[in-house]
Chain A
């Protein structure tokens, strides 16, 4: 049975008279890597801060491992951590002092794991945090958080400021280390390509509302692309099928996007004389846009 490690119930957060998070019902299964995507101002970061109890909900409930997070109880934060690039990070500390602080702060802090991670990142214990680049600071935070062995790790725009090579290493590190302890990871980002490689599921936010939540598997099977050559053109009977989302044509070469089981459509295409039929997965950003289009959101309104 799937256990949800994070659950929100009709979660609402107002800043002034503006709802920043509006009736969000989110369920994140244990041990998964989930992405929260959405344009700037969608409420992604606020949602993460509500989950960790930094912000208090205007109404609604957050449960972490089945326990309702109350504002007077800081103990549940032993099992959940937030890494946010937005917040300052003890610039005057040396790394060894940060290690000591995390060791005192978190019951499950693993010194050996911390040393191993810092070695992998080539960070010296004697360095001051202020001497590190933005990317290195983010990696340091992640290393310290992973060494604290949280059950849930919340990452807010973790790849901001990272170059492509470091970004790839960083994401690999997240996947590897999350697998060791079965840590559940929730990543808020507007870099869709980050999630493509690592996420098990994705939740989409728009103007404070959760407008979709799907596993990557179901999302990938939901939309497929068929490439084919059809000299006689696509018959109207196929064009009018409700499961066909779009058809692009370049001479006799067609690209058809569908969102249902492929077999009936492939059968019809073969009957119509299709040549070189090839079925491919859509890239994640395209999948995302198709999903949003299906929910009634235009491409322009979702500019990330």
Chain B
């Protein structure tokens, strides 16, 4: 018998839309906050007298900012407000993560996953349909935000150039898709959607935490080095991690504060268009690669999960340890350095960071064990 795959796909799409539509509606309502966020960004930065730049920064950061190598941090600290903008960016990252997690959360809560796995729907189709829905929602939100950005910039008397606008739109859209795909991937291998969302934030921020940690170590131990060569070259060790920071949009606040006094403003980069495009191009390639790799990984792993494991908290038991470690590091980082209000104290920070991480690791482990004990009883 000839099997119509196209028809099966349509069934998977219909099913996905039907079981998650109220959630998608919720996300749509949530995105209506966009104008409020945008206005806050402008009003906050009016105090600094840099309306148009602030709007632009709010829109473009964090992607490009995160792409700088660590040892050559250059920041326009005088051009944007360090507190409101990061929060606004973080909201969109969070929304992207929720978009990635929703399709799995609804599938689990309705038990629809069981009948789907015994229907003529391939597992890869399930993942792909969920990704496609997430993509459509992100694109919708970004179109809305883009329109608002144009309107706000016009209102502020500094219309944004189309080339910069396109760069902003593409960079931010890809950044949201990166966050959404990462969340979708983790939710496909975990049963508890909340932990999948939390772990996504960890995965998206952990490269920054690692880079920051190494940077701190090198910076605060440099005085102990005996001679510049060959140790001076060690200052560039964290550089590759700087690339990964492109995935850490929620953690650029602290750096903005700490890097004041940089020799060169980011503004210079943007005035030299070639350099900007070069950097942005790398960001886009990096983001696209991340999306493709994570999506393929999600399909590959989900196809390998036996149905009986779908009832486990983590479908892969070994992920317990990884998840706990990652959550601990994130919380440790947030408590020691995640807020711009906490100043850096060099080695004290490093020790505190490690101490917090260890403590939090044990607290998280205790809570998870407690959860399982209560569940068993």
Q: Which residues of A contact B (CB under 8 A)?
A: 15, 49, 52-56, 71-72, 74-79, 81-82, 84, 87-93, 97, 100-101, 104-107
Q: Which residues of B contact A (CB under 8 A)?
A: 1, 3-5, 7-8, 10-11, 14-15, 18-19, 110-112, 114-115, 117-123, 125, 303, 306-308
User: B308 touching A55 by the CB < 8 A rule?
Assistant: yes
The residue of chain A having its C-beta at the shortest distance from the C-beta of B126 within the complex is: A74
User: B110 touching A92 by the CB < 8 A rule?
Assistant: yes
Given contacts A74-B121, A74-B122, contact A56 B114 (CB under 8 A): no
A31 to B268, CA, bound (A): 78
Given contacts A15-B308, A55-B307, A101-B11, contact A106 B120 (CB under 8 A): yes
A78 to B15, CA, bound (A): 17
A56 to B117, CA, bound (A): 12
The residue of chain B having its C-beta at the shortest distance from the C-beta of A106 within the complex is: B120
Q: Knowing that A52-B118, A105-B121 are A-B contacts, what are 6 other residue pairs whose CB atoms are under 8 Å apart, sorted by A's residue number?
A: A49-B118, A78-B1, A82-B118, A88-B111, A88-B112, A88-B115
Q: A98: shortest Cβ distance to chain B, in Å?
A: 9
User: B118 touching A107 by the CB < 8 A rule?
Assistant: no
Q: A137: shortest Cβ distance to chain B, in Å?
A: 12
Q: A155: shortest Cβ distance to chain B, in Å?
A: 13
A101 neighbours in B (Cβ, 8 Å): 11, 14-15, 18
B117 neighbours in A (Cβ, 8 Å): 54
Q: A95: shortest Cβ distance to chain B, in Å?
A: 13
User: B11 touching A72 by the CB < 8 A rule?
Assistant: no
The residue of chain B having its C-beta at the shortest distance from the C-beta of A78 within the complex is: B120
What are 5 A-B contacts with C-beta separation under 8 Å?
Answer: A55-B306, A78-B1, A90-B112, A101-B15, A104-B11
A108 to B306, CA, bound (A): 29
Q: A297: shortest Cβ distance to chain B, in Å?
A: 28
Which of A52, A53, A75, A89 has the most chain B CB atoms inside 10 A of its CB?
A75
A77 neighbours in B (Cβ, 8 Å): 118-120
The residue of chain B having its C-beta at the shortest distance from the C-beta of A15 within the complex is: B308
A52 neighbours in B (Cβ, 8 Å): 118
The residue of chain A having its C-beta at the shortest distance from the C-beta of B22 within the complex is: A92
A174 to B119, CA, bound (A): 21
User: B118 touching A105 by the CB < 8 A rule?
Assistant: no
User: A92 touching B120 by the CB < 8 A rule?
Assistant: no
Given contacts A55-B306, A75-B3, contact A87 B8 (CB under 8 A): no
Q: B10: shortest Cβ distance to chain A, in Å?
A: 5
B306 neighbours in A (Cβ, 8 Å): 55-56
User: A91 touching B118 by the CB < 8 A rule?
Assistant: no
Q: A220: shortest Cβ distance to chain B, in Å?
A: 34
Top-5 shortest CB links A-B? A88-B111, A104-B11, A105-B11, A75-B3, A77-B120
Q: A274: shortest Cβ distance to chain B, in Å?
A: 56
User: A54 touching B11 by the CB < 8 A rule?
Assistant: no
A104 neighbours in B (Cβ, 8 Å): 7-8, 10-11, 14
A100 to B10, CA, bound (A): 11
User: B115 touching A87 by the CB < 8 A rule?
Assistant: yes
User: A107 touching B3 by the CB < 8 A rule?
Assistant: yes
Q: A59: shortest Cβ distance to chain B, in Å?
A: 14
B19 neighbours in A (Cβ, 8 Å): 90, 92
B7 neighbours in A (Cβ, 8 Å): 104-105, 107
B5 neighbours in A (Cβ, 8 Å): 75
User: B118 touching A54 by the CB < 8 A rule?
Assistant: yes
A72 neighbours in B (Cβ, 8 Å): 122, 303
Q: A36: shortest Cβ distance to chain B, in Å?
A: 17
B122 neighbours in A (Cβ, 8 Å): 72, 74
Given contacts A77-B118, A91-B110, contact A49 B307 (CB under 8 A): yes
User: A105 touching B119 by the CB < 8 A rule?
Assistant: yes
Q: B127: shortest Cβ distance to chain A, in Å?
A: 13
The residue of chain B having its C-beta at the shortest distance from the C-beta of A107 within the complex is: B4
A100 to B15, CA, bound (A): 10
Given contacts A92-B19, A93-B18, contact A105 B114 (CB under 8 A): no
